[in-house]
Homo-oligomer: A and B are copies of this chain.
Amino acid sequence: LHKPMWSHHDGEPNLWASFRHAWREELAEFLGTFMILLFGAGVECQVTLHYNSTNSGHGAAYGDYLQCRLSWAVGVAMAVWVSGGVSGGHCNPTVTIVLALFRGFPFRKIPSIILAQLAGATCASLCVYLNYTHSISRFEGGDDIRTVIGPHSTAGLFFTFPAPYLPDSSAFYTEFLASAVLVIIVFALADKGNLSPPQGTQPFAMFLALVGIGAALGVNTGYAMNGARDSGPRIALWLVGYGNEAPPALVSTTPSCIPVAILHSIALQS
């Protein structure tokens, strides 16, 4: 299906073409996860950093909570389109691991795919950070102030925090529930024996699913559901000089994939 790129050309394959073919799934996952964070971190920065801006000229803010949910969902839809035909469009370590455990995705590919996802999320976070660095400085109160926690912190625009009133067990439960719903929907949409959307329209369905998950289950923990989406920005912000006070990532996201997968395997796998 995916022939080497150079087979379409007359010339000899060059080094880059060979590299690109060998790592095409990683490149696709990189680009897909890049899309998620670009649209996601981008919209959080746009809306929060300019919310009380008088610059809009007509009293309207630059978006609201719903707009943020829509843009994250657009990011996931674009992620699936740019990577779906090459790598399957996981863009999420949880999905990769579950597919390896229960759908025959090759285990040996897991490390490089997850690294690619992480790198994509990190790069996109850096791109978004660079785009909004002036607004971040204004919001934080200075060009060299970058805080992870506090009233003018901007780290929460890039990665997720559980709500402060939430016990750890509840945060874990929320992530478990959201991830379970996500995995069930991913599997249902891919199930040709069910009412799956036509080939190429799955991203529209993922768009709706993400809008719904963000709208219904987003407030407690930020519906990370995705270790790369949450860890990539942490690396990016650490690189540009933010501190380390954030609660650890992954704790409440990736491990939840195991019970979800087992549950799904028992009850729903077809």
Q: How far is the CA of A212 from the CA of B38 in the complex (A)?
A: 9
Contact B185 A215 (CB under 8 A): no
Contact B71 A216 (CB under 8 A): yes
Q: Which of B16, B35, B65 contacts A63 (CB 8 A)?
A: B65
Contacts A66-B64, A195-B200 given; does A215 touch B81 at CB 8 Å: no
A67-84 toward B: CB 8 Å interface, digit per residue (1/0)? 111110011011011111
Contact A194 B20 (CB under 8 A): no
A103 interface residue, CB < 8 Å from B?
no
A177 interface residue, CB < 8 Å from B?
yes
- Give how many A residues have a beta carbon under 8 Å from the other chain's beta carbons: 104
Interchain nearest-CB distance for A84 vs B (Å): 3
Name the prevailing secondary structure of the A interface residues. Answer: helix
Contact B66 A63 (CB under 8 A): yes
A47 interface residue, CB < 8 Å from B?
yes
Contacts A2-B193, A59-B51, A198-B201 given; does A70 touch B177 at CB 8 Å: no
Interchain nearest-CB distance for A51 vs B (Å): 4
Residues of B within 8 A of A239 (CB): none
A242 interface residue, CB < 8 Å from B?
no
Contact B200 A46 (CB under 8 A): no
Contacts A58-B48, A65-B62 given; does A70 touch B197 at CB 8 Å: no
Q: Which residues of A contact B (CB under 8 A)?
A: 1-2, 5, 16, 20, 27, 31, 35, 38-43, 45-48, 50-52, 55-71, 74-75, 77-78, 80-86, 89, 127-128, 130-135, 138, 156, 163-167, 170, 173-174, 177, 181, 184-185, 188-189, 191, 193-205, 207-209, 211-213, 215-220, 266-268, 270
Interface CB pairs A-B, < 8 A, 11 = A38-B181, A38-B217, A45-B216, A66-B70, A74-B211, A81-B189, A85-B191, A195-B202, A196-B200, A197-B201, A204-B205
